[in-house]
Each structure stands twice: as C-alpha cells, then as structure tokens.
Chain A
Amino acid sequence: MIDQDVLDRTLRAALRDGGDFAEVFAEDRRATSGRYDDGKVEELVTGRSRGAGIRVVRGETTGFAHTADLSEAGLREAATAAAAAAQGDGGAATVVALERRDAARPHDVVVLPETVGKARKVDLLARADAAARAEGSAIQSVTASYADAHRRILVANSDGLLTGDDQVRTRFMVQCVAAGDTGMQTGMEAPGRSVGFELFDEVAVEDIARAAARRAITLLDAVPAPSGRLPVVLRRGAGGVLFHEACGHGLEADLVQKDASVFKDRVGEAVASPGVTLVDDGTFAREWGTFSIDDEGQPAARNVLIDDGVLTDYMWDLLRARTASRASSGNGRRESYQHLPMVRMTNTYLAAGATEPADIIRSVDRGIYCVQLGGGQVNTATGDYVFGVTEAYLIEHGEVTAPIRAAQLIGNGPETLRLVDAVGNDFETWTGTCGKNGQGVPVSAGQPTLLVRELTVGGTAA
C-alpha cells in the first residue's frame, strides 16, 4: 500500500517536534453486501474505503489524524497534524529502521470473496428466502443478507515494526417475521467466520433460513417471561455474550487503569466459581474475531484471563502495556483507519467442563433455558450488565417446556461469576459485533452449557 521509505520518512516527520512513539496504520477495505427482502433482490452494494491513521504519543497524550490520501504529501500532512497534539520539550525519540515481521496466520482463506461472481452471492439469498418461507404460512416477511469484507492492513511504527495482515470475513444473516393471533414475532440467525466463500460449503443457507423461521414461529406461542430471580441454564453458544459483558469488558486494561473496572487490583484472587476458565483467543482458527496481527501490529495470542476461578491477567493494547512495562496481549483493535486503537476482545470463551448438558437441565426445578441471546451491555465501573434473550423456554421440574417472550436478563459481573454452578462438556460460539466508545469490531463469544444459580429475569409475568 505504501513504500517502506515513505513510511520511514512519515514516521520521522511525525516525531520531528517531540514524542515517544509514532505509528502509521494504513487500511484498504473492500466490501460487498446484498439484501433480499420483500421477495426480491433489493440491493447489491459494493464499497471501498482506503486511508491511513497516524498517531504520535508523548507521555500520556496521543495525537491522531487520518487521511484518505495515501500519497507522501497526504501522509505528511496527517503526521504533522498528529504531531501538533503531542508536542513538547524533551528529545524526540528516534525511528528505528523498519524491519518486516509477519505473524503466523491462524488459518488459510480458501476462496477470496472478490473471486466469486456477484450472481453466485445473489443466488444464495434467493435460496434462503425460499427455505424460510417454506417453513409455514405464518412467515410473513424474510430478509436475507450476505456480506463479505476483505481488509488489508499495514502497520509501521517508530520501534521499527513493519507488518501487515490480510483479513477476510464472510457472514450470512436471515431475519424472519412470523404473524399470528398473538401479534408478530421475529427470528434471526447470522453465522459469520473469518473465511471466504468456503463458508457456504460448510453451512447451508437453507439451514440458516430454517433456523430463523422456526425461531419466529416458535415465539408465536410464547408465554410472558417471568419476572424475578431465577436459575438460568444457558445452552452452549448462547451465553458467551454473558461473559463478554459480565467480565470481559471489565478485564480490558484501559478501563482497569482508569479505575473504571470492578476487577481492578484483583489479579491472583478467586473471582469466579472453581471450574470457570475464561480465555480470549485471537488465534482461534476461523472464528469471527480472529486475525494474525491486531491493529497495532502485535501478533494475536491466546490469553487465559481467569484460570479455574482465579483472575490471571487483563487484556492489553500497546499503549497500556508500555505504561505497565509489559508486552501487549494482542488486543489493540480499531474499527477502521479513522479510529484510534484501544483494548478490545477477540474470541472470548469459557472453556468446557465435565457435566452432561441434559443433567444440568434436569437439576433445575423452576428456571429458564436460554437458547439464543441478542446482545448486551455493561457498566464496567459497577459491574452491572444486561443481555437480551431472543429464544428461551421455561424449565419446570427438570423439563424444558413453554417458550417465553423476549426479556432482558440483568446481573452483576463479579456476582454472576461466583454463581456458575455447573459447566457442561459441550461447546459452541456466537458471532457478533462489540461496541465500545462508538467503535464496532467483530468478535465471537463461546461457552458450554452452563447453570447460573440465579439471575434477574425481566419479564412481565408475575
């Protein structure tokens, strides 16, 4: 994308007036998306975004500027703007000679999306629409979407690092609306992987569509969700987002260093039930949050955050790691070249245990069984979090019974970690977009079937 000597001169320009560290992050991203709605191909859109973000760090202050102009003059202008924010006395750091260092790829991408004709992508959408509608006349609306993105990044910094990555992601989503006597209900299914078009050799779009349609139809018979504190069983894959919210964000070093995390100063302490092992793994092959290098050029890594109940480490980006005189954990990510990196999760999961999932359900006299969650939110300073349930059932006397309407679950992170009473021997992941300070990045979350002794269920039934 940019010649090495141009990068070198840009970094020198960035540090000319002082500063401890300078970095050029360049990105070239092409995306294709298609939407089938109302029984027809409504939209096929292609997009291109290309540019560079330059930051200059001096002490605790970061100056940042970005530009879509990748010429040497354009980069120079952005470097000067970024440097202006980080000026001061003291000797400027020198730029170490750039040396290319590429990280191992977690997996290979087989079929690059740009090598697949648009007609084949559009065809998937029509097939999904037909499969969803075939589930029954209650299905009144189907939206199928396809999205692929090919993102090339380049990172060069004044420590002499020069590296890059080629990231491909493909996702397919079906959303159905079912109508019945009780009103309308929705069902969604949206798998995604850090792979190319081979995704569709592994998952049939018809299966995705049928899962979404059945979910919407099932909910037509849903009873109001209960209200109050109840045992909650999270089916494998459904509850990864719970741990993402309940403790993942609180283990991000930027929030910890700002005294905005309930997990501050707790490394080495038992923070969760024995049997709870939480991992964030950017190298998890093919998962939605996977990459070779993060957006600061640091290799992806598998980081154990909680080991058998004991807090072992936080997640780190380059700047927070420098402050703490340690290495980055490969968690510095950004939405695009227009954003500053910060500490972000990748693929965060709770490791499998030994209990049979069926035994977990049988152990509950009255509670709820969550099959799909819709995302959540946390206040890391208090640890209070919520997440929405989009498919769940009552558990009565150890049996899964009636479906319940959508409801919010609410809990407190440190408390929930201590309430995990059983960890299943199964495992699945969930695909999502994590938002923090207005930036969205692709992540996955995973877990085995779990029993949480008690969570507050926000339904309307007495």
Chain B
Amino acid sequence: MSGADLLGIARRLADAAGPGEAVEAYVVRTRETEVEVFGGEVESLSTAGVEGVGVRVLAAGRQGYAWAGSLEDDVVTETLHEARDNASFGAPDEHYGFATPDDVAAVAPPSLDLWRDDLAAVPTAEKVRLALDVEAATRSADPRIRGVESAGYGDGLLESALVSSLGVEATARRTTCSAYAVALAGSGDETQTGYGFTAGRSLADLDLASIPRDASERACRLLGATQPTGRRLPVLLDPLVTRSVLGVLSATLSGEAVLKGRSLFAGRVGETVAAGNVVLVDDPTDPRAPGAARTDSEGVPTRRTELIVGGVLRGFLHNVYTGRRSGAGTTGSAARGFTSTPGVGVRALRLEPGTKSPEELMAAFPEALYVQSVSGLHSGTNPISGDFSVGAEGLMVRAGAFAEPVREVTIASSLQRMLLDVVEVGADLTFLPGSTAGQTVLLGEMTMSGA
C-alpha cells in the first residue's frame, strides 16, 4: 500500500488537460479487513488495500473514459492516454460535461463527519475476537440452533479525491464496519436459516447483541414451515425486504432511465403514482444513512430530494449530464466506482416513517403474510415493465400475532400496484448497509402462489 497523495494525483491529471480538452480525475483508495470464522476458529483473515483511478476526457463534444487499479505513475499516465483515445470513438453530445463551479456553489454541502480515527487503530486481534464472540453467541442463542453457517466481521476505510480542469475539487473519506452471522436451526431433514447483522462507522456503533438474537429468532421461527395454498392476501414486508424493494424501485427514479425510455415513471411527474401516505425521499445529508455523503461523485453537494410526496411523483434524480439534458439540473446524485463513468444513483432512499409500530400493522387485517426474506429479486423483478414476482419465506399473521411459518411461496404484483397498495408505512425506520433504508410496510394485496 503506497501512501500516494490522492488529491495530488487527481490535480496532476486535471492539469494535464490540453487546449480544447477537459479532464476529470477520480482517485480512490480503500483499506479493508475481513474476518470470517467457522466452528470456533478463524477461517480466513484478509487485509487488503485497493487503489485506483478513473479518468474522463471531454474533447470536441465527445467523452472518453479509462480506469486502472493502480496509482503507479506509468499506469496513471497510460490511463489518461487511453481516455483521450477512447473519446475519439464516442459520439458527440452537447450535454456532456463535468460539474461546474456554479453547480458546486448552488447548494451548501451538508456538514457530515463520516470518518472515525479509532476504527483505523483497532488491532486485528480485537476484530478476530469480536467475530469469534459473535459466532459463539449465535450458536448458543437457542437450543434449536444446530450450527452457524457463517459469521464474520469486516471494516473499510475509504478515501477519494475528484478534481476537474474546470476548477472543481472534492475529497471524501469515510469508515464503515459491520458484523454478521447466519444461524442454522433444526434437526434431521429440516433446516432453516436466519440472518443477524449490525453496522456502523466505528466499533462503538455496533449492536453486537442483536446478531445472535435476530439470527436465531429468524431461523427458529421458520421451523416447521410448509407450502401454503395460494391466494391473494395482505402482505407485511420486513424492514430488510422493504429496503430491497426500494432498491429495485430506485432504478425507476434515475433521470438516466427516464431519458432513455426505461422508467415506468417517465412522463408522469405530477401524477398520483402511490397511496397518499407515501413520501419517498433520497437524503444523503442524513448522517444516520450508511450512504451519507457531502458531495456526489462529480463533486456536487448532495441534498434531500423529494421523489414522491403524498403519493404524487415530484421528479427524478440527476447527475450533471441528465440534469442538463432534461433541463432539471443536477440533484447531486452522480454515483460511480473508479471503474465507470458517473451514473445516477440513490444514496439514502427511504420512505418517510409513519406513526404505527410493526405490532399495530400486524393487527390491521384478520390475516396477512409476513415476508421475512425474499429471493430472486434481480431475476424476478423488472423495473422497466414493473413486473414483480419473488420467492418468499415468512410467517402467516392472524389476529395480530405470528401464526404458522411458510416456505416455497412466491409473492407477485407489480411495482406500480404495490405503491398504490401501501396501506401503512411503519414507524420502525431502520438504516442498513447499502443505499436504501427500510421499515415494516403493509400492502393491501399481493398474490401468494403456493400449493
């Protein structure tokens, strides 16, 4: 791991812009530690550093991009040359561009402190101990737990610098850490699995006691699950599931998808697209969100963007390109790794929480399906057509309480209908790693397929 000066490398690349040419450099360094434990022993301990650079060149209205997973001088120079060469093969587009100083000055960036020095100082032995403790606690959390499929701890330190020849500079750094376990419950022919997870910016943020509790509860309560008879019924989504569904929905809210005719919401701004209690926002200025950031990956300050309010579609998310082409302006929503040009992405998408607890939502209908986890989200949902059909496991809910567990079912509807079918949004908003948050959500009806 070199101690390369990220900002210095980015400035050097931006300064290399020739006449009639603009250059933007994005330079990243991460350091990660990952411990996986199994059977009371360390299975693997990985320590790793990744450095990389992505260079965007604009010339004669064309854009070119190249990247490299190295910050060595010769490779960085080659990357700039490749980006220049690639630009000559692109088609011209008047809307291509980097963030301007005006874009950056338009909104004050949020004040966020996402870096914890103490995480960098934690000795590896302590991380190993933590992972082993999580595994042991999960194994002994309940007599019905027969093993732990996997358990571990991971952390990361990320630093980045972005500089363009237009005079924009942005640096960022953040720390993250997390721990998890997957419990195996059951004996003989039957096995059920359950997941426990906690994350934060330093060890002090981690709620380690929640892992064995959640993993064992979620595995054990599925024991005895059977395939029910198919029918239409109200559905309660677990916060983890809501978070995943929002992840699918996020593709429809990208200004890029709208411009390219690939969003089912294109042309519907101002229309009612969801139930009246639905307020959907992307808010990377909220420090609780794992995806919180001062600026986006074009150097533009982030902001709270309201996408759906009172069920009415308000607008979309934009980076510099889609903001220019649509006329809406950037919303500070450029997202990328160093291996790609900036796209448009959510950082902290969430439904604004309602006032009712999960218990109150469970009591809202005589019978409902509580969906604990879904599978096949990427193969069974289509954010362009809106088709939604995923595998599910969970429990039936009757008279406000969990009843028998179910497995091998699918739940189906469409994204459009699901938004209109939101009966209640729970108060239990939970921030989880990733770019979307979740809470318990009650939908009026979905099709559950079964026997």
Contacts and interface: CB of A to CB of B under 8 A. Distances in A.
Nearest to B184: A381
Contacts of A458: 380, 389-391, 409-412, 447, 449
B147 interface: yes
A48 B79 CA distance: 8
A460 B412 contact: yes
A184 interface: yes
Contact of A381 (B42, B191, B376): B191
Contacts of B48: 64-66, 338
Interface stretch (A33-41, A99-107, A297-305): A33-41
Interface in B13-43: 38-39, 41-43
A358 to B, nearest CB: 28
Interface stretch (B58-66, B97-105, B281-289): B58-66
Interface in A361-379: 373-379
Interface in A397-449: 405-408, 410-412
Interface in A80-112: 81-82, 84-86
B69 interface: yes
Interface stretch (A159-167, A225-233, A343-351): A225-233
Interface in A171-228: 177, 179, 183-186, 219, 225, 227-228
Contacts of B43: 60-62
A122 interface: yes
A143 to B, nearest CB: 8
B408 A340 contact: no
Contacts of A177: 261-262, 384
B78 interface: yes
A42 B322 CA distance: 13
Given A41-B89, A42-B90, A410-B410, A60 B389 contact: no
Given A45-B67, A60-B39, A68-B70, A186 B380 contact: no
B379 A374 contact: yes
Contacts of A64: 44-48
Interface string A56-74: 0001111111111100000
Contact of B410 (A84, A119, A381, A386): A386
A69 B407 contact: no
A425 B67 CA distance: 46
Interface in B190-248: 191-193, 227, 230
Given A45-B86, A260-B184, A382-B193, A388 B261 contact: no
A140 B258 CA distance: 12
Contacts of A326: none
A24 interface: no
Contacts of A85: 42, 44-45, 47, 124
B280 to A, nearest CB: 21
A141 B263 CA distance: 11
B165 to A, nearest CB: 20
A457 B410 CA distance: 8
B339 interface: yes
A255 B78 CA distance: 43
A228 B449 contact: yes
Given A68-B70, A118-B85, A258 B149 contact: yes
B58 to A, nearest CB: 13
Contacts of B149: 258-260, 381
A50 B79 CA distance: 13
A259 B191 CA distance: 10
A118 B62 CA distance: 15
Contacts of A219: 385
A86 B260 CA distance: 52
Nearest to B378: A375
B106 interface: no
B45 A50 contact: no
Contacts of B393: 384
Interface in B245-275: 259-262, 264
A228 B89 contact: no
A311 B179 CA distance: 36
B399 interface: no
Contacts of B41: 59-61
A44 interface: yes
B112 to A, nearest CB: 27
Contacts of A225: 389, 412
A460 B445 CA distance: 11
Q: How large is the interface on A (under 10, 10 to 19, 20 to 34, 35 or more residues)?
A: 35 or more
B121 interface: no
Contacts of A62: 43-45
Contacts of A259: 146-147, 149, 184
A177 B252 CA distance: 14
Nearest to A456: B449
Interface string A145-163: 0000000000000000000
A61 B417 CA distance: 50
A234 to B, nearest CB: 15
Nearest to A461: B447
A51 interface: yes
A46 B90 CA distance: 13
Contact of A386 (B39, B51, B391): B391
A179 B64 CA distance: 31
Nearest to B387: A406
B230 A388 contact: no
A27 to B, nearest CB: 10
A384 to B, nearest CB: 6
Contact of A47 (B39, B67, B150, B447): B67
A118 B64 CA distance: 12
Nearest to B64: A44
Nearest to A388: B379
Most buried by A among B341, B378, B386, B410: B410
Contact of A44 (B89, B184, B414, B451): B89
B375 A386 contact: yes
Contacts of A408: 376, 379-380, 389-391, 410, 412
B413 interface: yes
Given A37-B260, A141-B262, A386-B375, A47 B68 contact: yes
A459 interface: yes
B406 to A, nearest CB: 11
B390 A340 contact: no
B385 to A, nearest CB: 5
Most buried by B among A37, A49, A388: A388
Contacts of A5: none
B450 A456 contact: yes
B408 A185 contact: no
B82 interface: yes
A406 B380 CA distance: 7
B122 interface: no
B93 interface: yes
Interface string B111-150: 0000000000000100000000000000000000011011
A43 interface: yes
Contacts of B75: 48, 50
Q: Nearest 9 pairs between A and B by C-beta?
A: A458-B410, A388-B379, A386-B376, A386-B391, A85-B45, A40-B91, A408-B380, A49-B69, A227-B449
Interface of A: 34, 37-38, 40-51, 59-69, 77, 81-82, 84-86, 118-119, 122, 140-141, 143, 177, 179, 183-186, 219, 225, 227-229, 258-260, 262, 338, 340, 373-379, 381-382, 384-388, 405-408, 410-412, 456-460
Interface of B: 1-2, 38-39, 41-51, 63-72, 75, 78-79, 82, 85-86, 89-91, 93, 124, 146-147, 149-150, 184, 191-193, 227, 230, 259-262, 264, 339-341, 375-376, 378-380, 382, 384-387, 389-391, 393, 407-414, 447, 449-451
Given A47-B67, A67-B49, 17 more contacts: A38-B260, A40-B93, A44-B89, A46-B67, A51-B69, A62-B45, A81-B47, A183-B385, A258-B147, A379-B193, A382-B193, A384-B407, A386-B375, A386-B376, A388-B379, A406-B382, A410-B409
9 contacts: A40-B93, A48-B69, A48-B79, A50-B69, A62-B43, A62-B44, A141-B262, A340-B46, A406-B380
